Amino acid sequence: MSFYRKVVLVTGSSSGIGAVIAIHFSQLGANVVVTGRNICRIRRVAQQCRYVATRCAEVIEVVADLTKDCECRRLIRRTIEEFGQLDVLINNANVSGMSKVDDPKSAYIFDHIMHVNVRSTFLLSQLSIPHLELTNGCIVNISSRAASNPVTDYSLYCMSKASLDMMTKCLALDLKHKGIRVNAVNPSFLRPKVSRSVCCEEDKSEDDKLLHYPLKRLGEPQEIARTVEFLASGRATHITGVTTAIDGDSLLSPFAIQSNKQ
């Protein structure tokens, strides 16, 4: 599918799945905004985007800490100043991290996880509405299978993703009159080394658990990117408010939803 002349903003695109999604959309001809907090990582991903970009697609780099409202505003403003429009907002930035319920610090961790994973997603979506309305654009939220399947010692992350799924449905309903579609994808664990934050993927014993996945392997970030591409494309114009599992049918696995930190 071509995204020629479309503008795609991917939060958390300085690494992991977000980086793969940004590179994927550059390949499809979209003008892409690469963003995060770490300028070196942003620059590296932006270079990869430029390397694969087709049809003179452009890339801009924006450093923004999404826990700061003014930086969320600046991110949207820079996108519009540079490209003049916004077609697709992909809310991918996240923090995960373990948190035992009885840890006295967990209330502070709660605030931080909710701020990055939920509040900033809501604010960026809200700030994007007038621009997406003009382009008949859409929002794709990167959620997780953990939204509906609890993972031991990752309760705050799971709660944030459950909230994101409900936000997806509520915004889809509220924005339908403006012609803006809102959907989510819900990956299960991806293959090791994709993520900087999902530490339980590093465990070698994960290999044993794979035998219990119906598809006998973890997901690849490109599989997430291709599903996002579909949901953001003109082929999905009658799809809104859905949460899309990309999980190799891991629901059928007795081990897939368990943290190996048990």
Q: Which of 6, 187, 248, 253 binds ligand NAP (CB under 6 A)?
A: 187
Q: Does 196 bind ligand NAP (CB under 6 A)?
A: yes
Query: Residue 144 in contact with residue 187, Cβ under 8 Å?
Result: yes
Q: Annotated catalytic, 157?
A: yes
Interface with ligand NAP in residues 124-143 (CB under 6 A) = 142
Query: Residue 129 in contact with residue 151, Cβ under 8 Å?
Result: no
Q: Does 156 bind ligand NAP (CB under 6 A)?
A: no
Query: Sheet harboring 31-36: ordered strands across?
Result: 59-63, 31-36, 7-10, 88-91, 138-142, 181-187, 243-246
One of 4, 51, 108, 157 is an active-site residue; which one? 157
Nearest-CB residue for ligand NAP = 16
- 248 Ramachandran zone, left/alpha/beta (phi>0; psi -120 to 50): left
Nearer to ligand NAP, 40 or 56 (CB): 40
Total length of the chain: 262
Nearer to ligand NAP, 142 or 225 (CB): 142
Interface with ligand NAP in residues 6-25 (CB under 6 A) = 12, 14-18
**Least distance between ligand NAP and beta carbon 209 (Å):** 13
- Number of residues forming the site for ligand NAP (CB under 6 A): 30
Among the listed ranges 79-87, 125-133, 192-200, 254-262, the one in contact with ligand NAP (CB under 6 A) is 192-200
| C-alpha span between 228 and 223 (Å, rounded) | 9
Beta-ladder partners of 186:
245
Q: What is the widest separation between alpha-carbon atoms in the chain?
A: 53
Residues identified as active-site = 157
